[in-house]
Chain A
Amino acid sequence: DIQMTQSPSSLSASVGDRVTITCRASQGINNYLAWFQQKPGKAPKSLIYAASNLQSGVPSRFSGSGSGTDFSLTISSLQPEDFATYYCQQYSATPITFGQGTRLEIK
């Protein structure tokens, strides 16, 4: 199975900050990498697919990059509604696997 490791596991930041979350795959996954946002008690929301493609309706302050084994999600200027947990997911091979999540909290 392909293991996905996110860092950091948690992060405190302020409104307006630029933050980056990284995700590393245990083997190469080309660009078959997605990012999701989840708020407490809610279903996940799709943000990015194919490592860098923004899902329709997602604000442009979100961006993704990477290929192979190393990926990142960047939020250019944090807004109050961005405080949530973020997950990466590889879909290069089954079983499809997720990172453990990164909790983004208000400083």
Chain B
Amino acid sequence: QVQLVESGGGLVKPGGSLRLSCVASGFTFNDYYMTWIRQAPGKGLEWVSYISGSGSNIHYADSVKGRFTVSRDNAKKSLFLQMNSLRAEDTAVYYCARDRLTASTPDHWGQGTLVTVSS
């Protein structure tokens, strides 16, 4: 079955960096777009970024553009989110999700990893 397991969250000071990872299993990883979605405490869902199966097509939300970088290692079935210049408003649970083969919307989600940006 499809499994997505995120890691790498934690407490970081404003201006700091963090790298999130998501390890996938149960499907042919390189066939699928993958997405990062976040949720600030008590708030709604916010799309962050997606990346195509080959890594050649990438998009970001304006709120993270220039600070966050999404990448993937298909050999290791892993998705990454490098987060630099972190701000308090980046505090959130970050979810890794697999997009449907024929649509840019998730069909499977990871359990999430909490990122807290605070001094």
Contacts and interface: CB of A to CB of B under 8 A. Distances in A.
Interface string A71-107: 0000000000000000101010011111111000000
Nearest to A35: B105
A46 B109 contact: yes
Given A94-B59, A95-B61, A95-B62, A46 B47 contact: no
B47 A96 contact: yes
Contacts of B45: 36, 38, 44, 87, 89, 98, 101
B103 interface: yes
B60 to A, nearest CB: 8
A10 interface: no
B89 interface: no
**B contact patch SS:** strand
Contacts of B46: 98
Interface of B: 37, 44-47, 50, 59, 61-62, 95, 100, 103-112
Contacts of A50: 103
Contacts of B100: 49
Contact of B47 (A43, A45, A55, A98): A98
Contact of B95 (A44, A49, A55, A101): A44
Contacts of B108: 46
A43 B103 contact: no
B67 to A, nearest CB: 15
Contacts of B47: 89, 95-98
Contacts of B107: 46, 49, 55
A101 B104 CA distance: 20
B112 A49 contact: no
B11 to A, nearest CB: 19
A99 B111 CA distance: 21
A43 B112 contact: yes
A91 B107 CA distance: 13
A1 to B, nearest CB: 8
Contacts of B103: 32, 34, 49-50, 91
